[in-house]
Every structure is written in C-alpha cells, then in structure tokens.
Amino acid sequence: MIYDGMLLLAIWMLLGLVFVLIGEATGHTLIRLQFVVNLLAAWLFFAWFWTRTGQTLGMQAWNIQVRDETGGPVNPKQATLRYLVALAQWLVVLLGIYLAREHGAMVTAGATALLLAGLGLSQAHPRRAMLHDWLSGTVLVRVARQAGPGTDP
C-alpha cells in the first residue's frame, strides 16, 4: 500500500498542479471537483493495473497478484467493487480519526472497535479474505519472482 500510495500521491500532485493553474487563470478554487477527480484517478490507477496484469507496481515489488476466485484475471466490475469497498474502509478509518480528534476517547473506542471487527471478519473467512476481496470475488496470490535484467534465471 505504501509503494502504490506514493505513486498515487505523485499523480495527485500533478492533478493538483493542474487545478492550481486553473484556479489562477479563473479566480475560482475547484476543491470539490479536485476531490472527485482524485478519487477517479485512484480508481483508474488501480483498475488499470488489476485488470491488465493483476499487479500494481507495489504488488510487483512484493510478488503478489490479484485474481478472481477461479484464478483468472480480474474484470472491470470486480476491480471497481474492490476499489469502492477498500475506499469505504479507508473513509471509515479517516472518519474515526477525525471524530476522535473532535470528540475524544469514546469515539476513538468506537472507531477502533469497528476496525477490529473488520479485521476479525477477515480472520473468520475461510480464505482469510479482507472485506474488499470477499465482496468483489478476488483473491491475492503469491507469484514467482520474475528475473530482471542482469540476473541469472
């Protein structure tokens, strides 16, 4: 997640530059539109990799691949559902952090309980699938390391 997050951050920074330039030219800030465009860019980033090779660049570094439950490639519907559920999970975490800062320890306990419940559900699943894989019908699998240039096969 960290590797792909850094790549996504770079994409968002370039998009941010475009929005700054548009704002300077028009005198309007388009923060809501920028938020939506960032979410769409993230979806395109992940869906592109998941449906083409099953691996983002970060997944390649860790030799993991996302596939459908039968071992085949992920289709666009599965990639979209996987992204939306994962996004919803992150938004719950971020909302919990925000509420904890604003409203204190009781909300922190509730947000933590919700996060732990999600992790507990993944442990109860027969394949230990996270919610986004479970609902989208995808699995993460280990793949053999590919020999790079200058390495022995």
pLDDT at position 49 is 97
Confidence of residue 135 (pLDDT cuts 50, 70, 90): confident
Comparing 72 with 129, the larger pLDDT belongs to 72
Nearest Cα neighbor of 133 from 87, 47, 66, 36 is 66
pLDDT at position 127 is 72
Are the C-beta atoms of residues 68 and 144 closer than 8 Å to each other? no
Comparing 94 with 106, the larger pLDDT belongs to 94
Q: Distances from the Cα of 39 to the Cαs of 16, 68, 102, 140, in angstroms?
A: 13, 23, 25, 23
Instruction: Please give the average per-residue pLDDT across 88-105, as a whole number.
Output: 78
Q: Tell me the per-residue pLDDT of 19-77, one tens digit each, with 9 for 90 and over.
A: 999 999 998 888 899 999 999 999 999 999 999 999 999 999 999 999 999 999 999 99
Q: Distances from the Cα of 145 to the Cαs of 3, 10, 62, 75, 76, in angstroms?
A: 17, 26, 9, 24, 26
pLDDT at 107 over 90: no
pLDDT at position 150 is 59
State the average pLDDT for the chain: 86
pLDDT over 90 percentage in the chain? 55
Instruction: Please give the average per-residue pLDDT across 96-123, as a whole number.
Output: 72
Comparing 119 with 76, the larger pLDDT belongs to 76
Are the C-beta atoms of residues 74 and 66 closer than 8 Å to each other? yes
